[in-house]
Every structure is written in structure tokens, then in C-alpha cells.
Amino acid sequence: MASFKVTRISEGPVKPASATPEETLPLAWVDRYPTHRGLVESMHIFRSGADAAPGVIREALGKALAFFYPLAGRIVEGAEPGCPAIRCTADGVYFAEAEADCSLEDVRFLERPLLLPKEDLVPYPGDDRWGVEPHNTIMMMQITKFTCGGFVMGLRFNHASADGMGAAQFINAIGDMARGLTEPKVKPVWDREKFPNPKIKPGPLPELPVLALDYIVLDFPTGYIDGLKKQYKEHSGKFCSGFDVLTAKLWQCRTRALNLEPNAEVKLCFFASVRHLLKLDRGYYGNSIFPVKMSAPAEKVLGSSIMEVVDMIRQAKDRMAVEFFQFAKEETDQDPFQMTFNYESTYVSDWSKLGFSEVDYGFGPPVFAGPLVNNDFIASVVILKAPLPLDGTRMLASCVTKEHSEEFIRGMKADLP
């Protein structure tokens, strides 16, 4: 196997391009949730623009931060213990530029397994270069130039400051500035006080098992997904999403692969936006999510048709609104965000419509944009837009061990064209 090298050639803070307010802004209840206090890592791969990208994006980042100025600050402890806030210091975002001695083709456009270490592609500055702890840092960015004109943006974004949709809103704002706009198409709105602030205390952090999960990539053409959606329309007379049908297929195939006892409880969880329930402004970029949880005996999941499993998912979505308002009105004393991480539970995250795939810095949209997923303690799946030139949806699955991966893959691919 060829050995390639990435060399960092510059690094340092990018500050807002103009003066910004000095204030401390409170985070919402869901922003402050302990499991959100960390940096989510992602890769954004572009086929062209390498020579211009570092300078263009660095300048555009400064201009975007003038609007999204809290993101140039730091997370600090608030007036009350356990209530972190953002101090708007204008200290800036860590930004690095690097060069790879290979082309994106040489490293298979960073398909798994990666031919370059993850740590070379996303920023990991030393304490001498960036003295802020990761859980207090809001954002870091690295642009890595490849030979033959491609580049990769490696991003680390603190979940406490924004959810996926909010992070994508900011990244698109950088694109707006890079293409010469004078302000973002969607202006940021803080308004954290509009998210409910119940007195419910977050539950204890869950225990994390070591599961040694396989990493599996599955692609589903648009025509195949549309066929499943059509079947559901015929089954129920109602419409459903591509997420619904793929998640139903995932839950059933995974349950079959695990070969559990018939009465064993299998669980599925994903997070849904509640922006529509709260009637939040389009520019709201904070966390505005709520868990959708399902639990059923293995025999029920396996004994149902895929369309009946879609029914179960849609019913859980409908229940979510009721459960959210019970949480908001303090009609429950249970922490709805409390999670259990065991092998019978799987967590699904939908990146397909967040907006990362539409970002344009003047070099066209990314070939691929998605998270770097690699853990051995949460059975998880990410659904996202398939990389160009593929048409459809990609599933990044770290949800089964090697013992069960062959049966899981067989089931997921069983009726693919």
C-alpha cells in the first residue's frame, strides 16, 4: 500500500471581519445537555478549487463570523453551576491549511478504509497552538489541498452551539460570503429563550459498552427508494419519506441478523427537528431537536412487513409532538434525552437534508459531505446523500459486530437492483 503524507503549512485563529458585540449569551436547555458538549467531526470533499480554496474560505469565514459572532467565542460556565453559556470574545475560529502529496483519486476520495489518518484531515492543534479545551472550543476548520486540484475541508463543530441544521446554515453562510454576497442568505437568529427550559435535570451519563462494531457502507439508488415509498402509499394511502423506508428496512434487517430471542426488546432512536412545533425563525441555528424512541419485541419487528414497520416509525413520529410538549410544559419528570447504549439499541442520524451537500464556495458543491463515524460503543447509522456521481442515499452503518455483519449486509442488499 502506498504511503502518503499530509503537511500542515499554516494555522491560527480567524476572527470576525468587523467589530462584534461583547456579551455572554445563555444556551438553551437542550444546548446545555452534557452529551452535546463535544466536537462533531466531518469531512467535506471537493473535486476542484484547491489553489484558491484556503484563501477564499479563510476570508469568507471571517465575514460570516461577523454575523454568527457567538461562534467566534468560547463556551464558559454560566452564572449557575451546570449552565454553560457562550462568551462572545471574538477570539476566532482555529483555521489550518495543509497539503497532501497525493491526489484524491490516489486515496479513493477517502472512501473507507481511509488511506490517510483521520487526524491528518481534521484539525487537532497542540496546546501551544490552541489553548482552549475541546469541550469549550466552538469550531475548528482545516483545508487540505490535494494534487490535481481537489481539497478537503475537515470540520470540528461543538454540538452545544448548534445542531446539524444550524451548523450547515453557518457553513452555507461561509459559501455565500465566498461567492461575493454581502450577507448570508439566511441570517442567524439566537432566540435561545424560545426553546423550553423545564426544571427537569439531565439523567446520568450512560455506561458505554465496548462492542467492536464493523463499519459498513451501503448505497441505495433513488429509484429503489421511490419504489418503497410507492409501496407504502399503496399500503396505507399516505406518503412517507425515504428516511422512513430505509430506517424500517435497517431495523428489521438488523434485528434478523442479531438472532435474538423472540421476546427480546429491540430499540430504535433518532432525533427529529422541533422547529415547526416551536414556530422558530428560519435563521435559528441552536439545537432544536427531540428524540423519537421505539421499542418492540424482536418477534414483532420480524413478523411485520417492511410497510408495517414504516407504520411503527410514523406512529412514533406522531407521538413525538405530544411527548415534546409534555416535556416543555413540565408534565413529566423523566429526562426524554436519557439514552441506553446496548447492543439491542440502535441510533439513526439523518444528514441527508441538513444542507451540507449544497455548500458552494465558488468551486461547485462537494462530492461528499458527512461525519467521520468510528466508535465501538454506540450501534449507530448515519443516512446521508450518496457521494457524486452516485444518485441516491448512502448509509454509514456501525451497528453490528463481525459475527452479524454478513447476515445484516445480505438482508440490506437482498432486493437492490
- Residue 300, burial from CB neighbour count under 10 angstroms (0-12, 13-18, 19+): middle
**Does the annotation count 159 as an active-site position?**
yes
C-alpha cell at 351: 444528514
Largest CA distance in the chain: 62
How far apart are alpha carbons 204 and 416 in whole angstroms? 42
Distance from C-alpha of 26 to C-alpha of 305, rounded to nearest angstrom: 47
- CA–CA separation, 91 and 74 (whole Å): 8
Can you give 214-226 as a three-state secondary structure string?
A: CCEEEEEEHHHHH
* CA–CA gap between residue 376 and residue 209 (Å, rounded): 8
Contact between residue 179 and residue 362 where contact means Cβ atoms under 8 Å apart: yes
Supply the DSSP string of 132-198, one letter for each residue: S-GGGB-EEEEEEEEETT-EEEEEEEETTT--HHHHHHHHHHHHHHHTT-SS-SS--B--GGGS---
Active site residue 276: no
Q: By CB neighbour count within 10 A (0-12 exposed, 13-18 middle, 19+ buried), where does 329 fall?
A: exposed
Q: Which of 245, 253, 247, 295 has the alpha carbon at shortest distance from 404?
A: 253
**Annotated active-site residue in 120, 159, 350, 404:** 159
Q: List residues with catalytic annotation.
A: 159, 360
